[in-house]
Amino acid sequence: MAQILFTARSGGSSSGSFDSFNLGGHVGDASKSVADNRRILQSLLSQSAPKFMNQVHGNEVVEVDENTQSSITADALITRMKGVPLAVLSADCLPILVEGESVVAAIHAGRKGILNGIISNTIELIRSKSSGELSAIIGPAICEKCYEVDLDMYLDAINLEPSLATNPETHCLDLKRAAIRELEANEVKVTNLGICTAHDSNYFSYRRDGITGRSAGVIVL
Ligand SMILES: [Zn+2]
């Protein structure tokens, strides 16, 4: 079994808008606080330092090992190495952790990433390197009632991916349903934690708060 962890807001050393367990380095928080929080995360895991991504809402997937430098530009990481924690940062976007017998992955999937195929790209790369069943956990992320976009963006998105649709009156996108559909289409068993970051003040939410921190989803083979 892989080791899996999702952080919430509390338990860190950041203050103000980033109170307190902010793990994002490019959101305006003091770099010392972020470094402290990343050390806290590492001690919670009792593993080597997690590999973080420089996430760009793209569809690039990178395989890493213990020698790969952190902050590689990608929106998903996979590894077949034991004891190498993979981290995805989010504050509304979907943190998706994937586990197989001899492989794990961490995926950052927001609207753009989903439309760009980040989920299928990740599963394809995993399957090209490893056989066996896969399961995925969708961590705390914005729900279909909270993720309102303007009507044009809504119509463009559901045209590309119909499972994002809710209704044209509220024009909110259902990122979790689209992610579940894509994972299941790739024969991945899915668990959705069902936590909405915008509804639940225990989590950072960019939509709710604007300037805010980032939580982490971490998986270790
Ligand atoms: Zn919500």
User: Sorting pLDDT into bands at 50, 70 and 90, what band is 10?
Assistant: very high
Is the bond preceding residue 46 a cis peptide, omega within 30 degrees?
Answer: no
Average pLDDT over residues 85-114: 98
The counts of H helices and E strands in the chain are 6, 11
pTM of this structure: 0.98
Distance 18 CA to ligand 1 centre (A): 20
Residue 168: partners with Cβ closer than 8 Å, 6 or more residues away: 151, 154, 155
pLDDT tops 90 at residue 114: yes
Eight-state DSSP code of residue 52: P
From ligand 1's centre to the CA of 63, what distance in Å? 32
93 alpha carbon – ligand 1 mean position (Å): 12
- pLDDT, average across residues 105-109: 98
- Strand ranges for the chain from DSSP E: 3-6, 53-54, 61-63, 72-73, 76-79, 86-90, 94-99, 104-109, 134-138, 188-192, 215-220
Q: What is the pLDDT of residues 172-188, one digit of tens each?
A: 999 999 999 999 999 99
As a whole-number percent, the residues of the chain with pLDDT over 70 amount to 100
Give residue 70's pLDDT band: very low, low, confident or very high (50, 70, 90).
confident
If you measure from the C-alpha of residue 33 to the centroid of ligand 1, how many angstroms do you get, rounded to a whole number? 28
Residue 192 bridge partners (DSSP): 138
Q: How many Cβ atoms from other residues are within 10 Å of residue 153's Cβ?
A: 13
Q: What confidence score (pLDDT) does residue 69 get?
A: 86
Query: Hey, where are the domains in the chain?
Result: 3-142+190-220
pLDDT at position 16: 97
The mean per-residue pLDDT over the stretch 31-37 comes to 98
Nearest to 50 by CA among 110, 100, 97, 118: 97
What percent of the chain lies above the pLDDT cut of 90?
Answer: 99
Q: Please give the distance, rounded to the nearest whole angstrom, from the Cα atom of residue 137 to the centre of ligand 1.
A: 18
Where residue 71 falls among pLDDT bands split at 50, 70, 90?
confident
Q: In DSSP terms, which residues pair with 215 in a beta bridge?
A: 90
Give the Å distance between the CA of 48 and the centre of ligand 1.
34
Cα separation, 78 vs 145, whole angstroms: 31
How much distance in Å is there from the Cα of 114 to the middle of ligand 1?
19
Cα-to-centroid distance, 108 and ligand 1 (Å): 18
Distance 176 CA to ligand 1 centre (A): 11
Q: How far apart are CA 125 and CA 109, in angstroms?
A: 16
Q: How far is the CA of 132 from the centre of ligand 1 (A)?
A: 34
Q: pLDDT per residue over 203-213, tens digit each?
A: 999 999 999 99
Instruction: Give distance in angstroms: CA of 55 to centre of ligand 1.
Output: 23
Q: Domain 3-142+190-220 maps to which CATH number in 3.30.360.10, 3.40.640.10, 3.40.50.1400, 3.60.140.10?
A: 3.60.140.10
38 CA → ligand 1 middle, Å? 27
